[in-house]
């Protein structure tokens, strides 16, 4: 199943952001102890660990918000001490859990903050802000003039991401960016972020304490404890061979189920059989491992049909919870299959139109591979 | 049920209070008449007003009684407005009609002034206005009509024998001088305390050590009674002006406006430093963190994040200080200063209630005007999305 891999091997040689033997202290307590980490370029690196493990501190070392007491951080071949602090930070997007949007500035003023600091022209700033809002799927006409207090939690978080991408920085630092939103919104934001990251291929360092989120997003997963790195590898390798008992415990009991979060629906989906009438028998040969989907003229699925024990069964699709999106994880697909009782899950695009299905047999193959 | 919930028990209590006050007013003198400013007063109550005017004054309470039996929402609200507007208008009209009649019999220096009965009546009217869910356009029109009628009646000379106007006439140009002096003392004190207070608030925000020094001192300062502080300043300032006669030429001496201004600015420091300090410490730290993380330098963070966001709180402190200083400036007179305190304390000395009243009314008018102007200013400087949240600072 090599073609199903969504996480390419990390090219360890290519990196422009490195921390070598760094330590950091808060007063007398050591937050980071002689730690070395090379961040793979154009990949998403997730730092995870229990609270107080130093993951946020690590992140803040990279943009100089925390000063290291020993070691060296290198950015594009130069020690960050040699760079101006503000220049360094302007070249790295920064998203924090509480977002920290400027409450007295409009969405537009928030998003073009870094471009403004860099002295961009007004016209190109405006264009950039419009493009970024489109990227995070918020209508620029509606949102550019709004103030942060008029936004929902999810919307504010999207603006936070858009602001971090403001001046198109090569590096993005994200400190538990989706930690403060409800689980449903979080999953949506993750899906969207995967889409954005596939498009932009930024070098991202992402801090979280949610192991599912980590496995889902990470190309490179760094597990930390007490200011040290316990294991750093691709999530597949870590799930397959945890370095020690701590990692094993941290990953939790159902690792095989967690493995499913590594893959997204678009990589495993097959073409779906669909039509606007309900005559499933005409389209579906007996014992097909997939479904026939009845859709409306726009292509939005209305119900699913499948052979189960020699009979055709029908399951109506009433809400968005009955379908999955392109960037949903296989775990979501699996839960969808189980809840509807069909052999496959319908995958829809941004407008809710059917664009394929993920079959149970595919998931099964992946989980034993 | 709708009716029950809309006419809450709170409203019923207010209506009851208003009615009680109206009833109480019948047993109190409505106005006083005097032969001259210090002769003993003649109380004028129901008997002086006569049946017609007493009945006229009973209209608002009757409307309020009627209100209790009306079910219709809009009708009852109009009834309240009518009762309130009439309640505001009638006492002034009655006073202007009956007052001069009584006074003309008493001679050329006679004067009259409203007293407890009319005050209680007006408080009842305020309670009626409190019962209204909101002020509507016709309420404002009503208030304008009342104002127009009162001004018209006044222009006919009906109020010329009103005590406070007689006093104002006696003062002549001195009156406007004292008003200006009051404003000047307040403005100078406030300016001094802003110049000292704002930097102190900022430095306290930055330095823990300064904070530990400033706030205990402020707290002690605030507990010294006003008059004591005025008195305490007399000795050192007198000594200072003895030692450096040049200072005396600038008006710095033990008594007069200088010690008053110094004491007033010391008092005004407290609200200014407290409010400004709170405005800065209550800034969202995450916003500052995000600003730093995005590469703003510290000057940019101060001028584009901290100052704009703290501005409303700082202005709020200045507003509190201003209102407080206008009131306290009255005490300046006690150590030989100018201002409206002159009217109040001279009035007290001469047992002239009208003179005290005149001073107090002018001080209240100044306070209300300053407060209004400042509210507009605060609103102007508050970032749009944060407007209408002033209550947060109170």
Map residue B79 onto helix, strand or coil. helix
Chain A interface mutation, best of B295, B300, B387, highest count of A Cβ atoms under 10 Å: B295
Whether A224 is covered by a domain: the verdict is: yes
Give the pLDDT confidence of A145-187 residue by residue, as tens digits: 999 999 998 899 999 999 999 999 999 999 999 888 888 888 8
pLDDT at B79 over 60: yes
**Measured CA angle at A172 (ends A169, A174), to 5 deg:** 150
Domain shared by A103 and A239, yes or no: yes
pLDDT at B194 over 90: yes
Give the pLDDT confidence of A80-124 residue by residue, as tens digits: 988 899 999 999 999 998 888 999 999 999 999 999 999 999 999
pLDDT value, residue A254: 78
Domain shared by A102 and A218, yes or no: yes
- Identify the residue with better confidence: B123 or A16: B123
pLDDT value, residue B393: 41
* Chain B nearest C-alpha distance from A271 (Å): 44
pLDDT value, residue B127: 92
Domain shared by A134 and A243, yes or no: yes
Rg (CA), chain B: 26
Domain shared by A337 and A191, yes or no: no
- Mean per-residue pLDDT, B175-186: 93
Q: What's the predicted TM-score (pTM) here?
A: 0.75
Record: contact B294-A104, CB cut-off 8 A: no
B188: pLDDT confidence band, cut at 50, 70 and 90? very high
Structural domains counted in chain A: 2
Confirm or reject contact between A103 and chain B (CB < 8 A). yes
pLDDT value, residue A8: 45
Record: contact B295-A96, CB cut-off 8 A: no
pLDDT value, residue B3: 47
Whether A261 is covered by a domain: the verdict is: no
* Chain B nearest C-alpha distance from A147 (Å): 6
The pair of structure tokens assigned to B246 is: 């040049």
Record: contact B309-A63, CB cut-off 8 A: no
3-state SS record for A273-294:
EEECCCCHHHHCCCCCCCCEEE
Name every chain A residue with its beta carbon within 8 A of the beta carbon of B296. 86, 117
pLDDT value, residue A13: 45
CATH number, domain with residue A288: 3.10.580.10
Whether A323 is covered by a domain: the verdict is: yes
| Nearest-angstrom CA–CA distance, A316 and A304 | 6
pLDDT value, residue B249: 72
Map residue A109 onto helix, strand or coil. helix
A176 contacts A97 by C-beta, under 8 angstroms: yes
Low-confidence residues of chain A, pLDDT below 70? 1-14, 369
With CA atoms as reference, the chain B residue closest to A114 would be: B294
With CA atoms as reference, the chain B residue closest to A174 would be: B293
Alpha carbon A156 to its chain centroid, in Å, reads: 17
pLDDT value, residue B191: 96
* Chain A nearest C-alpha distance from B322 (Å): 27
| From B286, B294, B384, residue closest to A89, measured CB to CB | B294
| From B289, B385, B386, residue closest to A100, measured CB to CB | B289
| Nearest-angstrom CA–CA distance, B117 and A151 | 55
- Mean per-residue pLDDT, B366-389: 85
The closest alpha carbon to B357, from B368, B341, B375, B344, belongs to B344
B275: pLDDT confidence band, cut at 50, 70 and 90? very high
Record: contact A117-B291, CB cut-off 8 A: no
pLDDT value, residue B229: 78
| Nearest-angstrom CA–CA distance, B256 and A169 | 65
Whether A239 is covered by a domain: the verdict is: yes
Domain shared by A6 and A88, yes or no: yes
The closest alpha carbon to B326, from B314, B335, B318, belongs to B318
The closest alpha carbon to A115, from B300, B295, B285, belongs to B295
Record: contact A86-B293, CB cut-off 8 A: no
Domain shared by A68 and A203, yes or no: yes
Record: contact B293-A148, CB cut-off 8 A: no
pLDDT at B250 over 80: no
Map residue B274 onto helix, strand or coil. helix
The dihedral formed by the CA atoms of B67, B72, B77 and B80, expressed in degrees to the nearest 10: -10
| Nearest-angstrom CA–CA distance, A336 and B27 | 81
B346 contacts B211 by C-beta, under 8 angstroms: no
- Mean per-residue pLDDT, B313-325: 93
The dihedral formed by the CA atoms of B291, A213, A7 and A219, expressed in degrees to the nearest 10: 40
Chain B interface mutation, best of A80, A83, A104, A147, highest count of B Cβ atoms under 10 Å: A104
What average pLDDT does chain B have?
Answer: 86
pLDDT value, residue B394: 38
- Mean per-residue pLDDT, B366-384: 89
Confirm or reject contact between A148 and chain B (CB < 8 A). yes
Helices B353-381 and B307-328: crossing angle, nearest 10°? Answer: 180
| Nearest-angstrom CA–CA distance, B343 and B341 | 5
Whether A321 is covered by a domain: the verdict is: yes
The closest alpha carbon to A363, from A322, A332, A325, belongs to A332
pLDDT value, residue B174: 87
Domain shared by A213 and A357, yes or no: no
Domain shared by A250 and A270, yes or no: no
CATH number, domain with residue A88: 3.40.50.300
| Cβ atoms < 10 Å from Cβ of B371 | 14
| Nearest-angstrom CA–CA distance, B316 and B282 | 14
Domain shared by A110 and A246, yes or no: yes
Q: Report the range of poorest mean pLDDT among A70-74, B96-100, B158-162, B196-200.
A: B158-162
Domain shared by A277 and A203, yes or no: no
* Chain A nearest C-alpha distance from B294 (Å): 6
Record: contact B293-A149, CB cut-off 8 A: no
Domain ranges, residue A321: 266-368
pLDDT at B123 over 70: yes
Work out the percent of chain B whose per-residue pLDDT is above 90.
39
pLDDT value, residue B305: 93
pLDDT value, residue A162: 94
Confirm or reject contact between A278 and chain B (CB < 8 A). no
The pair of structure tokens assigned to A185 is: 């919104």
Strands of A228-233's sheet in order across: A92-96, A171-175, A203-208, A44-48, A220-225, A228-233
Q: Which of A224, A254, A284 is the last residue of a domain?
A: A254
pLDDT value, residue A89: 93
Whether A259 is covered by a domain: the verdict is: no
Eight-class DSSP state of A269: -
Record: contact B385-A103, CB cut-off 8 A: yes
Domain shared by A317 and A181, yes or no: no
Q: Which of A254, A283, A310 is the last residue of a domain?
A: A254
| Nearest-angstrom CA–CA distance, B357 and B166 | 12
Whether A342 is covered by a domain: the verdict is: yes
pLDDT value, residue B388: 61
| Nearest-angstrom CA–CA distance, B84 and B81 | 5
* Chain A nearest C-alpha distance from B274 (Å): 23
Confirm or reject contact between A114 and chain B (CB < 8 A). yes
Cross-strand pairs, A26: A29
Q: Which of A188, A223, A254 is the last residue of a domain?
A: A254
The closest alpha carbon to B46, from B86, B98, B88, B100, belongs to B98
Map residue A347 onto helix, strand or coil. strand
Domain shared by A53 and A146, yes or no: yes
B251 contacts B231 by C-beta, under 8 angstroms: no
Map residue A305 onto helix, strand or coil. strand
With CA atoms as reference, the chain B residue closest to A97 would be: B286
With CA atoms as reference, the chain B residue closest to A87 would be: B295
Whether A260 is covered by a domain: the verdict is: no
| Nearest-angstrom CA–CA distance, A7 and A167 | 27
Give the pLDDT confidence of B22-71 residue by residue, as tens digits: 999 999 999 988 888 777 888 888 888 888 888 999 999 999 988 888 87
Name every chain A residue with its beta carbon within 8 A of the beta carbon of B286. 96, 98-100
pLDDT value, residue A14: 64
Q: Report the range of poorest mean pLDDT among A281-285, A293-297, B15-19, B345-349.
A: A281-285
Rg (CA), chain A: 23
């Amino acid at each position: 199943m090599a073609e199903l891999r969504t996480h390419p091997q990390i090219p360890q040689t290519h990196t422009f952001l490195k921390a070598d033997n760094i330590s950091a202290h808060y007063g007398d307590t050591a937050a980071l102890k002689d730690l070395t980490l090379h961040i793979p370029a154009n990949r998403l690196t997730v730092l995870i660990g229990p609270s107080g493990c130093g993951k946020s501190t690590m992140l803040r070392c990279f943009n100089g918000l925390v000063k290291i007491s020993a070691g060296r951080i290198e950015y594009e071949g130069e020690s960050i001490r040699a760079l101006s602090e503000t220049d360094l930070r302007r070249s790295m997007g920064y998203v924090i859990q509480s977002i920290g949007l400027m409450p007295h500035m409009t969405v537009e003023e928030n998003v073009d903050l870094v471009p403004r600091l860099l002295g961009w022209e007004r016209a190109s700033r405006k264009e950039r802000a419009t493009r970024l809002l489109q990227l995070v799927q918020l209508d620029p006409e509606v949102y550019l003039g709004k103030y942060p207090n008029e936004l929902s939690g999810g919307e504010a978080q999207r603006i936070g991401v858009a602001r971090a991408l403001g001046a198109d920085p090569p590096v993005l630092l994200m400190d538990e960016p989706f930690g403060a939103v409800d689980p449903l919104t979080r999953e949506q934001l993750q899906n969207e972020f995967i889409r954005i990251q596939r498009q932009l291929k930024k070098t991202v360092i992402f801090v979280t304490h949610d192991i599912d989120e980590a496995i889902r997003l990470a190309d490179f997963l760094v597990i930390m404890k007490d200011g040290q790195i316990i294991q750093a590898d691709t999530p597949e390798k870590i799930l397959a061979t945890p370095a020690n008992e701590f990692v094993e415990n941290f990953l939790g009991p159902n690792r095989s189920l967690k493995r499913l979060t590594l893959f997204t629906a678009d990589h495993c989906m097959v073409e779906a059989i669909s039509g606007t009438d309900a005559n499933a028998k005409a389209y579906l040969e007996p014992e097909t491992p997939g479904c026939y989907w009845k859709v409306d003229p726009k292509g939005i699925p209305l119900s699913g049909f499948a052979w189960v024990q020699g009979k055709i069964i029908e399951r109506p699709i009433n809400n968005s919870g009955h379908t999955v999106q392109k960037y949903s994880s296989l775990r979501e697909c699996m839960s969808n299959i189980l809840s509807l009782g069909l052999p496959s899950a319908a995958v829809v695009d941004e407008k809710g139109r059917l664009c394929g299905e993920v079959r149970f047999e595919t998931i099964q193959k992946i989980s034993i591979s | 049920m709708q009716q029950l919930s809309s006419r809450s028990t709170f409203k019923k209590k207010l209506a009851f209070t208003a009615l009680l006050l109206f009833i109480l007013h019948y047993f109190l003198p409505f106005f006083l008449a005097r032969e001259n400013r210090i002769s003993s007063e003649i109380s004028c109550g129901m008997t002086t007003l006569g049946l017609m005017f007493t009945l006229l004054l009973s209209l608002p309470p009757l409307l309020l009684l009627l209100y209790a039996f009306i079910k219709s929402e809009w009708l009852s609200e109009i009834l309240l407005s009518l009762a309130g507007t009439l309640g505001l208008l009638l006492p002034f009209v009655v006073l202007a009609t009956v007052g001069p009649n009584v006074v003309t019999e008493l001679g050329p220096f006679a004067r009259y002034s409203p007293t407890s009965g009319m005050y209680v009546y007006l408080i009842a009217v305020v309670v009626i206005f409190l019962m209204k869910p909101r002020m509507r356009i016709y309420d404002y029109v009503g208030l304008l009509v009342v104002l127009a009628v009162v001004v018209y009646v006044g222009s006919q000379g009906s109020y010329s024998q009103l005590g406070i106007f007689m006093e104002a006439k006696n003062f002549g140009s001195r009156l406007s001088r004292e008003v200006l002096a009051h404003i000047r003392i307040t403005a100078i004190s406030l300016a001094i305390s802003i110049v000292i207070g704002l930097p102190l608030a900022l430095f306290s925000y930055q330095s823990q050590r300064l904070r530990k020094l400033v706030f205990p001192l402020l707290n002690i300062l605030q507990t010294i009674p006003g008059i004591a502080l005025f008195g305490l300043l007399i000795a050192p300032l007198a000594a200072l002006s003895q030692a450096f006669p040049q200072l005396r030429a600038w008006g710095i001496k033990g008594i007069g406006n200088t010690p008053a201004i110094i004491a007033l600015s010391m008092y005004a420091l407290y609200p200014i430093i407290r409010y400004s300090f709170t405005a800065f410490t209550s800034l969202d730290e995450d916003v500052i963190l995000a600003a730093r993380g995005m590469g703003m330098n510290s000057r940019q963070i101060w001028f584009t994040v901290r100052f704009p966001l703290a501005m409303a709180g700082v202005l709020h402190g200045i507003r509190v200080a201003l209102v407080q200083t206008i009131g306290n400036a009255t005490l300046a007179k006690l150590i030989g200063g100018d201002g409206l305190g002159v009217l109040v304390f001279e009035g007290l000395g001469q047992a002239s209630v009208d003179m005290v009243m005149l001073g107090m009314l002018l001080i209240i008018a100044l306070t209300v005007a300053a407060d209004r102007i400042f509210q507009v200013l605060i609103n102007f400087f508050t970032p749009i999305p944060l407007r209408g949240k002033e209550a947060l600072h109170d």
